[in-house]
Amino acid sequence: MEVDAYAFQAEWHDPQADLVRPYTMNFFQPKGGAGPLELQIWDDKAKRTFLKRAPLSDLRMEDLFIGSTLTVHARQLKLTAYANEGTKALLEGAVECFGLVTSPDAFPDFGGILSTIEGAGLAVTRLRLVAEGGLVVAMQVSGPGGGAAWEVASMKLRPGSCKKVPSCEVTPYFEDARRYPTTAVFSSCTVCLIRPHILKDGRAGEIVSSIMKAGFEVSAAKVVHLTRLEAAEFLDVYKGVIPHYPSVLDAMTSTPCLALELRKDADVVPSFRELCGPHDVDIARHLRPGTLRARFGEDGARNAVHCTDLEEDGELESRYIFELIG
């Protein structure tokens, strides 16, 4: 089978040795999209193959850009540079990355704007809600023919509701916490994590719209790629309680998820838990077909959303996501 090949320099932080280890990641795309992307990893320091060539079903071409973090067998590797000029020439023109910033008055249509981006075949790789004359959603998006795809998609939106900017202009929204502190309030709140499979499927906007239509206020939002340690700490209460706990960790750390802090007038934790529905997707579909897990869930590990279960944990979970981790 004929393939197109791409190579990136990458690095992995070894938590045990506290070292950054360099690798070369080689990707192979069957021509015509006849199958999944394949990956082979070379250990630059040891001068040997680290991972033999094998297909990765969750990997997409829009994931391949400098700065992207990929999870491979529970290790998160960051793409730091093109490994050769051929890859640079092929991908710099094919996969475009750029920024999008919403206007403050467009925030009520946050979900609709997100759906428009996803409907254009673009992946939201970074997102953060900030205060700048009102609530503003800053995003970094990428995709094949990204700029042209966005120009067509943006015509569906109200003029001026979302502007395109170079990636360098949107970066401070994500990295300058002093200038753009979190909008999380850490009180009378609950946390929603829209799971990675939803972002992969391009349906996060639908869930955000459903949440806001149900009367919940989105007080903070960001795309976060949890490490396995972070996910294990965050979900520790479920260890030994749900039978598919290891699979949940795998699913939650495979690619980024979208984290939301939500508020409502009263009883926000049980109210949002009701909207999410039972953990078990089959039970949700049978007993609560209108809930988020019934509508968007796939199985026990990919049940669309995590929600705070205990009322006293709302602030704790929000602080963990929006204050303690990057």
Q: Above 80 in pLDDT, residue 218?
A: yes
Q: What is the pLDDT of residue 1?
A: 62
The C-alpha atoms of residue 131 and residue 252 are separated, in whole angstroms, by 28
Check residue 192 and give its pLDDT: 98
- Any idea what the CATH number is for the domain that residue 324 is in? 3.30.70.141
Tell me the mean pLDDT in the region 13-40.
Answer: 87
Amino acid at 109: D
pLDDT of amino acid 34: 67
Residues 188 and 214 in one domain: yes
Residues 152 and 290 in one domain: no
More confident residue, 156 or 91: 156
Residue 257 and residue 285: Cα distance in Å, rounded? 23
Q: Are residues 196 and 323 in the same domain?
A: yes
- With respect to residue 120, please indicate whether it lies within any of the assigned structural domains: yes
The answer to whether 292 and 277 have CB atoms below 8 angstroms apart is yes
On whether residue 135 sits in a domain, the answer given is yes
pLDDT confidence tier of residue 144, bands split at 50, 70 and 90: confident
Buried b or exposed e, range 21-58, using 16+ CB within 10 angstroms: bebbbbbbbeeeeeebbbbbbbebeeeeebbeeeebeb
b/e sequence 255-278, b meaning 16+ C-beta within 10 Å: bbbbbbbbbbeeebbebbbebbbb
Same domain for 104 and 171, yes or no, is yes
Which residue among 123, 152, 181 closes a domain? 181
pLDDT at res. 208: 98
89 in a domain, yes or no? no
20 by Cβ neighbours in 10 Å (0-12 / 13-18 / 19+) ranks as exposed
Q: What is the pLDDT of residue 66?
A: 84
**Whole-Å CA distances, 107 to 16, 191, 212, 219, 221:** 42, 19, 11, 11, 12
Using pLDDT thresholds of 50, 70 and 90, give the confidence band for residue 216: very high
Res. 296: pLDDT tops 90: yes
280 token code pair = 């078990």
Tokens for 149, please give them: 């795809």
CA angle 116, 120, 125 (to 5 degrees): 85
> What range defines the domain where residue 104 resides?
95-181
Residue 90 lies inside a defined structural domain of this protein: no
Looking at the structure, tell me whether residues 218 and 187 fall in a common domain: yes
Domain containing 121 — which CATH number?
A: 3.30.70.260
Model pLDDT for residues 159-192, shown as the tens digit of each residue? 999 999 998 999 999 999 999 999 999 999 999 9
Among the listed residues 197, 225, 279, 306, the single catalytic one is 306
Number of domain units in the chain = 3
Same domain, 118 and 38: no
Residue in 276, 279, 272, 274 with CA at minimum distance from that of residue 301: 279
What phi, psi does 131 have (nearest 5°)? -100, 120
Q: Is 288 found in the same domain as 250? A: yes
**pTM of the predicted structure, to 2 decimals:** 0.87
> Are residues 76 and 104 both part of a single domain?
no
Picking from 29, 60, 83, the residue at the C-terminal end of a domain is: 83
For residues 157 and 188, membership in a common domain is answered with no
Reference 38, options 25, 24, 48; nearest CA is 25
306 tagged catalytic: yes
Look at residue 88 and tell me if it is in a domain: no
| Single residue among 83, 109, 124 that ends a domain in this structure | 83
